[in-house]
Chains A and B, each alone.
Chain A
Amino acid sequence: MTGWTGRVLRVDLTRKTSKVESFSEDFARKWVGGRGFAAKILFDELAPGIDPLGPDNKFIVALGPIAGIPAPNTGKAVVAAKSPSTGGYGDGNLGTRVAEHLRKAGYDALIVEGRAERPTLLLIEDDKVEFLPADAVWGKGTYETNDWIYAKYGKGAGVLNIGQGGEKMVRYAVVRSLEGRAGGRTGMGAVMGSKRLKAIVVKGTKPIPQADPEAMKKVGSEDLRKVHQVDKETGWSIQSTNGVLAWCNEVAALPVRNFRKTFHADAWKVDGERLNNARVATYGCPNCTMRCGITIHDAEGRESELDYENVALLGPNLEIFDLAEVGSLNYLCDDYGIDTMSSGCVLSFYADAIDQGAVAGRFKFGDAARAKALLGEIARREGDVGNLLAEGSLRAARTIGKGSEAYAMQVKGLEVAAYNCKFIPGMALAFGVAPIGAHHKESWVITFELKQTSRESYGPEKAQKVIDLQRIRGGLFEYLVSCRFPWIEVGWSLDNYPKYFKLVTGLDWTLDDFWKISDRIYALMKLFWLREYPRTDRKLDYPPAVWFDPENVDSEGPIAGKCLEYDKYDGLLQHYYDIRGYDKRGIPTKATALALGLADEVAAVEKIAKLT
């Protein structure tokens, strides 16, 4: 087997032990890496029904065959566990030097089990594994923790850490790395916190196994230069991801006032032009030549790295249009180690619930000062409000009641990313069927809906497009593991990825070969959900009810008087199931699962729930 180390490091925090396990070439070919490895390990090793915040959950760091290789945007790792926010399979990816270091230490994945007796820093240096005290930074934010780690181990080390949000098990706490990087908005930071695992530090020195390392080095360095050149020619990184904010505002797709409005006259104050004008620094992940992290000075004068999702959800969604104040909210989320997107949705839900009279409280849209204070209360789980909102919008809505679940902007318990789908059926489907909850990383179809077909359509072409993109975004890039931005943002050809894969593994796979892997992993994630929720039905794949509410339509603008329609959405959902070979519950049929090579998994699931 070439291209994989063939080794997994298993660590038990309870017993302070570790061991190295090997995996077979068949396993590598079937699951490839990253999300594929993580989903398979969690499916095989977690008993159904375990508490995601208990010691029985497992925290996975998984890499793929091209992770850490010097080639376009390979400096990423997947973090995964049973999700505290959804109760289903959860994961995320983030830019980190861990990608390169863990592979150089000789591992394709790390499995963390148990719960440490006291706050712990897990140090991995090639074959050496140490469990070190982290009491000095327990209770500290991610920036201070990162500095503490860098002072001990150097800036070049691979680092994953959590802030107070993770320690206090906020259900949307993230894992942080490289000062400005975060991943695992499905609560992966909370899982680390539940294990009293403050940080993971990795230093590896061995060569990463490759079939043709000289050719890979040559092609990789050339392609890094080419991606940089294309980025310069297209000018994408001038506004980076936040270029899309002004466009969303024009086409009525911007989240404003807890998604109740789709555009706002003041949105220009936080758009990509203003962000670029305020830029004081630019950051990127390892092996990236199209850096997306635009940093500004926030209202308190600190550096805060912004992108579209956090600007939109902490800005217009809260009716805050001062970019420096948005920067402050973003900085606090990053320092506390809580997800910026979910935080924006949770705060907007709270303001909305107060506005609707469902709950009494001191917070209203546009109140940046109170929003900042609330983030601290959430991260520290202070008081009734901090505790309520730390649970996420779905659980908070179920506590509040009074119909508030309808405007809790989430799917499966994970808050919606920053695209308002009040009248964008295909994107609503993309959120609905995303296998970890409402994340945009799986599929994004809005320009397709406006340019290639009609916004009004609920036709099968939209379901097919969602699947096509899931195979690429949620599939290929999540198991190779590599950032999708070169492909989606500057048009770097997908044909490059089988090329890299061949240079590393020696395997001559086509993109169609990869799509089958993607479909297998998506089916496995669905089986994971079925095992956790045996009475599941298609309603789990519905987007928030407020998007279907005729009383919530825009009174003016491009989609005035329009909203999603239940029967039509359900038809679109059925198109998706039909193309995927899923049953009416949204679960792979037995024939589909077996055709994807999931015989063992089918047998495991059928002990609990029947497949059709």
Chain B
Amino acid sequence: MKITVKIIGPFIVSAGFSERDIDLADGATAESVVALINLKNPKPMIMTRNGQTLRPQDALRDGDRIVIAPVYSGG
């Protein structure tokens, strides 16, 4: 399956990209995406799928848009 990963804020530096389409095996989870892109300082983070919260163990679906962001605090 193919998903789109969007990286937010300072995580872009360690990921090396801000948005990319990624091919994954069926059954891949959110945490497997995090492992794949190898963020250096991944915590604390918040992941969303299509604008809704995504938990590490949640299975991904073809066409998902996954957003990985620091836990912002609103300035």
Interface residues, chain A, with chain B CB atoms under 8 Å away: 233-236, 238-239, 241, 243-244, 246-247, 250-252, 272-273, 307-309, 419, 440, 444, 446-447, 450-451, 454-455, 485, 488-489, 557-559
User: Are B48 and A243 neighbours in the complex by a CB distance under 8 Å?
Assistant: no
CB nearest neighbor in A for B14? A235
CB nearest neighbor in A for B72? A244
**Per-position contact with A for B7-43: 1 when CB-CB < 8 Å, else 0?**
0111111100010000000000000000000000100
Which of B6, B10, B46, B67 sits near A451, CB closer than 8 Å?
B46
Which residues of B lie under 8 Å from residue A241 when comparing CB positions? 75
Interface residues, chain B, with chain A CB atoms under 8 Å away: 6, 8-14, 18, 41, 46, 48, 50-53, 65, 67, 69-75
Which residues of A lie under 8 Å from residue B9 when comparing CB positions? 235-236, 238-239, 243-244, 246-247, 272
User: Are B74 and A239 neighbours in the complex by a CB distance under 8 Å?
Assistant: no
11 contacts between A and B (CB under 8 A): A234-B10, A235-B13, A236-B70, A238-B9, A244-B74, A247-B69, A250-B65, A250-B69, A419-B74, A451-B46, A489-B75
CB nearest neighbor in A for B6? A250
Q: Report the 9 A-B pairs with minimum CB-CB distance, sorted nearest first.
A: A558-B51, A444-B74, A235-B10, A243-B9, A488-B73, A241-B75, A250-B67, A247-B69, A244-B72
User: Are B12 and A273 neighbours in the complex by a CB distance under 8 Å?
Assistant: yes
CB nearest neighbor in A for B44? A491
Which residues of B lie under 8 Å from residue A247 when comparing CB positions? 8-9, 67, 69, 72
User: Are B13 and A309 neighbours in the complex by a CB distance under 8 Å?
Assistant: no
CB nearest neighbor in B for A447? B71
Bound: A303/B75 CA distance, A: 22
CB nearest neighbor in B for A276? B12
User: Are A246 and B75 neighbours in the complex by a CB distance under 8 Å?
Assistant: no
Bound: A558/B14 CA distance, A: 27
Bound: A447/B41 CA distance, A: 18
CB nearest neighbor in A for B13? A235
Which residues of B lie under 8 Å from residue A450 when comparing CB positions? 46, 48, 52-53
User: Are A238 and B53 neighbours in the complex by a CB distance under 8 Å?
Assistant: no
User: Are B75 and A236 neighbours in the complex by a CB distance under 8 Å?
Assistant: no
Known contacts A236-B70, A246-B6; can you find 16 more A-B pairs with CB under 8 A?
A: A235-B9, A236-B9, A238-B10, A239-B10, A244-B72, A246-B8, A246-B9, A247-B69, A251-B51, A273-B12, A307-B75, A440-B75, A450-B53, A454-B53, A455-B52, A455-B53
